[in-house]
Structure 1
Amino acid sequence: MTTTAQQTSPPAAPRPTPAIIPLPPATARAATGIGALLTLASTFLAWTWTAEFPGDLTVNGYPGGLQVLTLIGALLTLVFTLSAFGVRGLGWLTPGGKNSAILLFALGTFATTWYAIIAIAVNLGGLANLEPGGFIAAVAALLTLVAALGLPSDVPLDGDIETVTPWKRFTQAFKAPTPEPAAPLPSWAEILIIAVSFGLGLFIFTYGIDTEYAELFIGFMLMVCFGATAVSRAGLNRRLASYTATHKNVTVTAAFVAAFAFPFTQTNDAYATIGANILIFATVALGLNVVVGLAGLLDLGYVAFLGVGAYTAALVSGSSYSTIGIHLPFWAAVLAGAAASLIFGIVIGAPTLRLHGDYLAIVTLGFGEIFRIAMQNMDGTSGPNITRGPNGIPDIPDLEIFGFNLGEPHTVLGVELGKFSNYYLLMLFFTIIVVTVFRRSDQSRIGRAWVAIREDETAARAMGINAFRLKLLAFALGATLAGMAGTVQAHVTTTVTPTQFKFVEAVPPNSAFLLAAVILGGMGTVSGPLIGASLLYLIPAKLQFMSDYQLLLFGVALVLLMRFRPEGLIADRRKQLEFHDTGQLDTPKGDIGLSKAGV
């Protein structure tokens, strides 16, 4: 007698508990809105009892310092939450990711608020220095963030809800969903949106420069970073990009009008100094972008061309320490500096541009160091007495253009502009020239040939492109633009020394920071290097207490950038396709074909 073995299946594994408990969208949004409202209300209460903490957070009914940033973050979180609820008139704020924008604004508010609370505790000696308003702000910001994490993702989650952790939900917020198509607007409305956007950008930039203490600037940077990402994930940046692409000339005009208005917003010439130096740094970075971003030539000694222009201007601008005793007018000094840099660019580029990749980088790095050492040795002892060696050439007189002395205060449109405001406006004029040259070059046949050489020089040569001649042209053009900016830098700093032109130095501009500005902002774009240079100059200028760790933090930032944003902050279409998934189907793998079809 045979018996059939009883097949017993193992008991089913218990269903895992979700890492994030999903909430109904309406419930999560309501909780987020209530938390944002409580956070906003907490800014009208005192956060600490003593005015020793910068910003005076002891006043009830009047936010100040870091409280203002928390108020702005909570208000934006609330407004975007109402937009997600479908409140009439606010739907245009979220053409893309509604919930991602809310989460990122909530995260920015949380980071700024908790940074302020921790800073109070550290600076004043413990949490006992917090008033009830500070505790309410910390708890309300945390509740807002937790509620925002319960919102559904705008993009498909990688995995089942049971496997979604808070970290995975957080990273999903940084993935851009496809924005909804924009409703057609009249041309005047699109132009108005462009103008308002640049006006808002001017306000944010001015607020950042005018921050009076490091704690406020750090809070500002936290809010701006998360806020900018939130606006991007909401789809507003793509919509604005479509308007700017339609009205390119209006966009360029609005950008320079906003930049022109900057010195008129300043009451302290020290902040105008930062603006002038940022423009110098940004203009030189844009010139380097011609060499690196368009032609793909890795130049690690580019700051030497800035030095050639600066030393030329110092020698011919009438300094009492000039060894040649020539005093040329401003326009002649600019042409002399640009011409000297052009000559150096051709002399250095002609024998070296036949090299490629790392070999070219090493040669250009050597040229930068040779230039600095040569300027240091031309002191009359180790070499001819031309640059006064390590002492440099000081006492460079202020420029005088058409009887207008840039070193003296002048009243323009009822606003008194100091020395550095005058130089800022002068440097803005040169920035316009550099941007015009870059745009014309990029859109020309030569610019397309540069891009072809950058992508594949062998293929470009096969198509009949004279690669050496075009690379030399890019090298010479970049050197000329750097030399032109160097003539203005010499008059802004009033002293030119060899130590200003090292490869790596704690204070920009130098070759490493210039190259990083191009990579950070986005190679091959106009606005990318300008934004990258602004960040790399502004952050060290405002956080001087971290100067001992500046290069370490700089390296960490570059590593993070290469990991999470290799195409830069402002990337062109080609770089986005190169570094990110395009959404196209992969080529089928395996032996799928005629044999499988039975043919």
Structure 2
Amino acid sequence: MSIPTLPDAFVEKHAAKGWPVGLAGVALVIIGTFMSWSFDPNILGDLSVYGYPGGLQILAIILSLLALVLLLTVKGPLASRLGQWLDAALGLRALGLWLLIYMVGVILAIATDSSGLVNVDPGGWISFVGAVLVFAGSQVIPLRELRDLGRARLPGWFEIAAVAVVMAGVLFGAAYALAREDAWSFVLVLVFAGGTVAAMFRTGTMGWFGHVATRRRKVLTLAAFAVAFFFPFTQQGSDANMSIATSVLIFAATAIGLNIVVGLAGLLDLGYIAFLGAGAYVASSLSRSAFATIDWHPPFLVIVLLGGCVSATLGLIIGTPTLRVSGDYLAIVTLGFGEIFRFSMFNLDGNNGPNLTNGPNGIPGIPELAVGGFNFGDEHVVAGITLGRFSNYYFLLLLLMAFVILVFTRLNNSRIGRGWVAIREDEKAAEAMGVNVFGLKLLAFAVGAFLAGLAGTIKAHQDGATSPDQYIFLESAFLLAAIVLGGMGTIAGVLLGATILKLLPEKLRFFSEYRLLLFGLTLVLMMRFRPEGLVANKRRLLEFHEEDEKLATAVESELVEEAK
């Protein structure tokens, strides 16, 4: 989100007022949080108590304290130590804007869930006025040139501790956000997180953390998987949240496979959901369901490999004749393939063809997955916390995700990955340089389809049923949107995009009639303000911002540092 700026002459004239106005705003926000915000105790988790801030009031206090730290960095006891490194003025502008958005959201939530603004108590208005003052004061504090915080080198133990603190914040922040059952509370927690991250970006702190993550990549990877592993233990056995988490992992694993095709090789595939469906139908047909059509029940590991291989074979079948075309023509052909797959599943019902899929009825009653003596449908108590069936599937999907990420990373950093990138950038030039264009395109389709097939075999058991209606074109569109939204060619971006597209519709059900409208609006805004995605690949970042010489220099130095 771009931060509104005032004319330089106006800023220079009122610069002396910015700091005291900002301090006054911080004080008012904090004072207001110790008063009642809402007359109705049933709104936003009971904000009607005096002298004892509620959850959302505590978040407002945290944003205010961050603003105070930045104010003291601009002018105060922290200026001599942090003022040379942190871009406190720019960070304060971002934080002031998000704090104002947060308080506007609180006022709207109270007014919407009650009979109007009359139910907003004085504390809410005091904190709102304070947010306005913080925002106004931040706009007239002049900016200045600082050192590049990303170049700062700190002791190794401090950098490792920073990684640990950030990842722990992600874990407990996610647990706190998912615990908000009220949609408005969930939105406000997201605004709080957005404001914190925006301030970190603007101050340069996130840039420094990016350099630390590059230098401590193994530590970051281990910390990320540790956070993912401990996540179910923060949900107190909540099947609802763990169901969302397993859906996110299946969606993300499939999207990473599509990322090979779209993000690396640059091939627009609009029928990719068919490969996920192929894996699911293989697992369903070979399961012990009463409606299964194949009387052979091999071990699950064999089923997983069969599902991946069947999907890869379909990738080769569709890829061999169609990869001779490119661009819009390839998109249309793959879209047709996705619809052919869905209608084929309808017709393989014993009347229009062999009975393999039970037609539109699909294959219901798929039993819970059992590996050895471990049944994924049973509850298990670990450290006093009950882990249900979705938690069991979650851990299995974590192993699948680790494998998918390993495959993507190895291929991306290999000669094959460089060949895919060359094809994406300029197919004719790559062919002229001796790159086997057709072979690499076909390999991208096969590998991407294989990974989707693996995810499909687990999805069948988790859902308990497989039907053709699960694999419509809209699902392929959402997979592609996750890649575009998160950042093509990246792993973190796809994970973030998949989480957003799967989590938000579940938590914002009061927008049920407008979810697709909001989704489309989000994509339009992304294409306008950040076309490279939320987590941008460095090469694509330069493609979209070729005129930014400072960015080019920074990216070049980062690539050199990674090469070391």
Classify the TM-score, shorter chain. over 0.9
CA apart distance, 1:529: 0.3
Deviates more, 1:383-392 or 1:17-26: 17-26
Q: CA deviation at 1:395?
A: 1.1
Q: Please give the alpha-carbon distance, in whole angstroms, between the structure 2 residues aligned to 1:320 and 1:20.
A: 76
Name the residue aligned to 1:183: 152
Bigger Rg over Cα: 1
Q: CA deviation at 1:274?
A: 1.0
Counterpart of 1:382, as a letter, is N
The answer to whether the aligner puts 1:216 opposite 2:185 as a matched pair is yes
Would you say the 8 A contact 1:294–1:524 is kept in 2?
yes
Give the TM-score of the pair, scaled to structure 2: 0.92
1:317 and 1:86, CA in 2 relative to 1: closer, same or farther beyond 3 A? farther
- Deviation digits for residues 269-326 of structure 1, max 9, x if unmatched? 2111111111111111111111111111101111110000111111112112111133
Is residue 94–residue 235 contact of structure 1 (8 Å, CA) maintained in 2? no
**Is the Cα–Cα contact under 8 Å of residues 209 and 538 in structure 1 kept in the other structure?**
no
Q: Among 249, 264, 284, which residue is 2:254 paired with?
A: 284
Pairing 1:382-461 to 2, within 5 Å after superposition: 382-461=352-431
1:308 aligns with 2:278: yes
Q: Alpha-carbon deviation of 1:86?
A: 5.2
Deviation at 1:475, TM superposition (A): 0.7
SS of the residue 1:548 aligns to: helix
Structure 1 residue 545, shift from structure 2 partner:
1.8
Q: What's 1:548 paired with?
A: 513
Residue from 456, 466, 474 that aligns with 1:496: 466
| Secondary structure, counterpart of 1:519 in structure 2 | helix
Query: Which residue number in structure 1 is paired with residue 554 of structure 2?
Result: none
Percent sequence identity over matched residues?
48
For residue 224 of structure 1, report the CA deviation from its aligned partner. 2.2
Match of 1:561 in 2: 526
Which residue of the other structure, out of 525, 532, 535, is the alignment partner of 1:570? 535
What secondary structure does 1:301 align onto? coil
1:460 CA displacement: 0.4
> Does the C-alpha gap of structure 1 residues 96 and 566 become closer, same or farther in structure 2, counting only changes over 3 Å?
farther
**1:344-400: CA deviation from partner (whole Å, max 9, x where unpaired):** 111111111111101101000111111111112222233322111221111111111
Paired residues of 2:56 and 2:185 also in contact (CA < 8 A): yes
Partner of 2:56: 66
Judge which range, 226-235 or 566-575, deviates more. 226-235
> Offset at 1:25?
4.8
1:23 to 1:420, Cα distance in 2 relative to 1, 3 A: farther
Conservation of the 8 A alpha-carbon contact between 1:392 and 1:498: yes
Q: Does residue 75 of the first structure (1) align with residue 65 of the second (2)?
A: yes
1:56 counterpart = 2:46: yes
Cα gap change, 1:369/1:87 in structure 2, threshold over 3 Å: closer, same or farther? farther
Q: 1:225 aligns with which of 182, 186, 194?
A: 194
Residue type at the aligned position of 1:549? Y
Q: In 2, are the aligned partners of 1:80 and 1:93 still within 8 Å (CA)?
A: no
Aligned to 2:495: 530
Query: Residue 106 of structure 1 aligns to a residue in which SS?
Result: helix
1:150 is the counterpart of 2:140: yes
User: 2: distance between equivalents of 1:539 and 1:232?
Assistant: 23
3-state SS in 2 of match to 1:439: helix
Q: SS where residue 393 of structure 1 aligns? A: coil
In 1: Cα distance, 2:244 partner to 2:35 partner: 34
* Equivalent position SS for 2:386: strand
Deviates more, 1:139-148 or 1:26-35: 26-35
Q: Distance in 2 between matches of 1:190 and 1:26?
A: 36
1:125 is matched with 115
Distance 1:549 1:382, change over 3 A: farther
CA-based RMSD of the aligned residues comes to 2.1
Structure 1 counterpart SS, 2:42: coil
Q: Which amino acid aligns with 2:306?
A: A
The alignment partner of 1:66 has SS state of: helix
1:20–1:380 Cα change, 3 Å: farther
* Of 87-96 and 275-284, the range deviating more from structure 2: 87-96
Name the CA distance, whole Å, in 2 between partners of 1:32 and 1:220: 23
CA distance in structure 1 between the aligned counterparts of 2:429 and 2:136, rounded to whole angstroms: 54
CA deviation digits over 1:100-133, x for unaligned, max 9?
2111112111111111112212221122212211
- Give, in whole Å, the separation in 1 of the partners of 2:394 and 2:362: 24
Question: Is the deviation greater in 91-100 or in 513-522?
Answer: 91-100
Q: Does residue 199 in structure 1 map to residue 189 in structure 2? A: no
What's the counterpart of residue 556 of structure 2?
A: none
What SS does the corresponding residue of 2:533 show, helix, strand or coil? coil
Out of 105, 125, 135, the residue aligned to residue 115 of structure 1 is 105
Q: Which of the two has greater helix per residue?
A: 2
CA contact (8 A) 1:65 1:216 kept: no
Matched-pair contact (CA < 8 Å) for 2:72–2:79: no
Distance (whole Å) between structure 1 residues aligned to residue 310 and residue 427 of structure 2: 29
1:416 is paired with a residue whose SS is strand
- Residues 448-473 of structure 1: CA distance to partner in whole angstroms, max 9, x if unpaired? 11100100010000000110001100
The 3-state SS of whatever aligns with 2:149 is coil
Runs (4+) of structure 1 exceeding 6 A deviation are none
The answer to whether the Cα contact below 8 Å between 1:279 and 1:427 also exists between their aligned partners in 2 is: yes
Which segment is superposed worse, 98-107 or 293-302?
Answer: 98-107
Q: Which moved more, 1:483-492 or 1:113-122?
A: 113-122
Q: Distance in 2 between matches of 1:224 and 1:383?
A: 53
Match of 1:331 in 2: 301
Q: Say if 2:21 is the partner of 1:31.
A: yes
Deviation, 1:193, is 1.3
SS in 2 for 1:211: coil
Aligned partner of 1:237 in structure 2 is: 206
Number of aligned residue pairs: give it.
544
Give the deviation of 1:557 after TM superposition.
1.1
Of the three residues 244, 263, 270, the one matched with 2:232 is: 263
Q: In 1, are the aligned partners of 2:229 and 2:395 still within 8 Å (CA)?
A: yes
What are structure 1's unaligned runs of at least 5 residues?
1-16, 156-176, 505-509, 586-599
Task: Work out whether residues 98 and 195 of structure 2, in 8 Å CA contact, stay in contact via their aligned partners in 1.
Answer: yes
Q: In structure 2, the residue corresponding to 1:52 is in which secondary structure?
A: coil
What CA distance in whole angstroms lies between the structure 2 residues aligned with 1:91 and 1:434?
44
Separation of aligned partners in 2, 1:306 and 1:147: 53
Q: What do residues 135-190 of structure 1 show as CA deviations (whole Å, max 9, x unaligned)?
A: 211211112111112222457xxxxxxxxxxxxxxxxxxxxx87335432222222
Indicate which of 351, 354, 361 corresponds to 2:331.
Answer: 361
Q: What CA deviation, in whole Å up to 9, does each residue of 1:247-282 have, x standing for no partner?
A: 222221111111111001111121111111111111
Q: 1:154 to 1:386 in 2, by over 3 A?
A: farther
Summarize the alignment of residues 154-165 of structure 1 with structure 2, pairs less than 5 Å apart: none
Matched residue SS, 1:46: coil
Correspondences of 1:86-105 after superposition (within 5 Å):
87-88=77-78, 91=81, 95-105=85-95
By how many angstroms is 1:436 displaced?
0.5
2:486 equivalent to 1:516: no
Gapped runs of 5+ residues in structure 2? 1-6, 551-564
Question: CA offsets, 1:404-459, max 9 Å, x none?
Answer: 11111112244221111111111011000000011100110110111001000100
Alignment correspondent of 2:544: 579
- Preserved CA contact (<8 Å) 2:149 2:208: no
Deviation (angstroms), 1:519: 0.7
TM-score, normalised by the number of residues in structure 1: 0.87
Residue 96 (structure 1) shift? 4.7
- Structure 2 counterpart SS, 1:348: helix
Does the 8 Å CA contact 1:95/1:182 hold for their aligned counterparts? no
Cα deviation, residue 21, structure 1: 4.9
The 1:30/1:271 distance shift into structure 2, 3 A limit, reads same
